[in-house]
Structure 1
Amino acid sequence: MVELKSIESLNLVDLCFLCAKNTTSLLFLDIETEGLSKEKNDITLIGVYTQGKYLPFIKGLNLERSLSLLKVSPIWVTFGGERFDLPFIKKRFPEVSMPVVHLDLYLASKLVGLNGGLKKIEKAIGIARETEGMNGYHAVKLWQRWVEAKDKNALRKLILYNKEDVVNLKKVFDYVVSKLAEQRKEGQKGGEIDEVRSSAIF
């Protein structure tokens, strides 16, 4: 069991190692939305990856079933979730408490010299995608095609896009942890760690 008081003093490097030691507690998470405003736009899809399995939760079909995982998973891992995913989830599901730990890989990746968005980082470490070239704008358009025309191919492509986002979070996480372990073994500091302390923890 991960307890908040046990992680309050951890820097981001040690937080990564804590997550690596609690892999069965990790919930990799990525959402798709109708747009960028949490006030005007709703969540269309919540994708999670936990214990080797990807699960999509879709608005109008089974979105509320995501609560069964969101409520019980003590560690959420996202990319840029502090500014995007979590505010949307808080707005859509105010009854959901934030996790004991939130690890934002956007911050953690910087510790090993990886900068930019998720897809840029994927390319830098050799991760390929079936949905190469797609981005959030395309995801919004696919959702519109599903809503307006019940285009099942559009929904399938949206789910695949989200799946690659979520599953690749795990790959980026593993890469970051392995590089941090190498740095620690070599006695390297791994960047300005002290300046990036508990900002990724809720």
Structure 2
Amino acid sequence: MYGSHLKSSLQLFPGIGERKEKQLFGVGVYDWESLIQYQKQKNDPLLPAVSILEERLDELDHELSEANFPFFTTELPSLEYWRLWQNFPEKFCFLDIETTGISDSSVTTVVSLYQNKRMLTFERGKDLEFLFDSISPEDILVTYNGKRFDVPFLEREFHYRVKNPQLDLMNLLHSIGIKGGLKKSEVLLGLVRPEEIAGMDGRQAPLLWFEYQRTNNKEALEKLIAYNKEDTKNLEIVLEKTIDRLTENRLF
């Protein structure tokens, strides 16, 4: 592992976007301190003056020493939130939902949250309405395709506006060339699911719920919940393995 992933974010400095950051990585500028040294030596006209960079460095160091998590979620682009995992793992809330479908009449059946090695699962007709009480508003919601599906689905159904910062692992995986859905991504990253739910996908989840509703088959419900929990817990592993890929290839 290289140094602090957060301190390798040059986009936290004024005038540095993704393109300029990659250029700087390419010449060996990998962290906040080396950026200052680089500008002192090169006086790059496309970078702010050394005094401005040093002032920003002091601010960043102070906010990091104060563990000011909201400061960094405000300052970082959402695709860069992965950099905070190393310093603030307790602030990452992994979320996955199961539904009866994708139409406007579909509803949520099961939702799991995984945070700080603690799993919470909410079931329709039991405790689903308490879901948002368990999510701290400043924590990062980590999902797979959640920005386009999970979060808007919950917002529509519960008439609730999710204001949390969000990290969508689908987009992060795309940035390292991995596409094709969560299950395929897991395989490409070397994850193996338990035998009892291996091979299951999102198309089977509604069928399990319908079977439970129709016949009160507890095994169908238990299998659905186990599948949802595995999806949710694996998001953490996918994040860690994706970060490994980014740092191994110095794509950070």
Same-fold status (TM-score > 0.5): yes
Q: In the aligned structure 1, how far is the partner of 2:173 from the partner of 2:184?
A: 12
Mapped partners of 1:65, 1:13: distance in 2: 29
Counterpart selection for 1:113 from 177, 182, 190: 177
Would you say 1:60 and 2:116 are equivalent positions? no
Asked if 2 retains the 8 angstrom alpha-carbon contact of 1:26 and 1:73, the reply is no
Identify if the C-alpha distance between structure 1 residues 144 and 24 changes in structure 2 by more than 3 Å, giving closer, same or farther.
Answer: same
Give, in whole Å, the separation in 2 of the partners of 1:124 and 1:73: 32
Distance in 2 between residues matched to 1:174 and 1:104, nearest whole Å = 14
Q: TM-score, normalised by structure 1?
A: 0.83
CA RMSD of superposed structures (Å) = 1.8
Residue matched to 2:155: 90
Larger radius of gyration: 2
SS at match of 2:183: helix
1:110 Cα offset (Å): 1.7
Aligned residue among 151, 166, 172 for 1:102:
166
From 220, 235, 241, give the equivalent of 1:154. 220
1:129 pairs, out of 193, 196, 203, with 193
Length-normalised TM-score, structure 2: 0.67
Quote the residue 1:34 is aligned against. Answer: 100
Identity of aligned residues (%): 34
> Does structure 1 residue 43 correspond to structure 2 residue 43?
no
Count, aligned residues: 183
Name structure 1 gaps, 5 residues minimum: 191-202
Deviation at 1:11, TM superposition (A): 4.0
Q: Which residue of 1 aligns with 2:15?
A: none
- C-alpha distance 73-154 of structure 1, shift in aligned 2 (>3 A): farther
Q: Distance in 2 between matches of 1:86 and 1:169?
A: 15
Higher relative contact order (CA 8 A, sep 6+): 1
Residue equivalent to 2:69: 2
SS at match of 1:49: strand
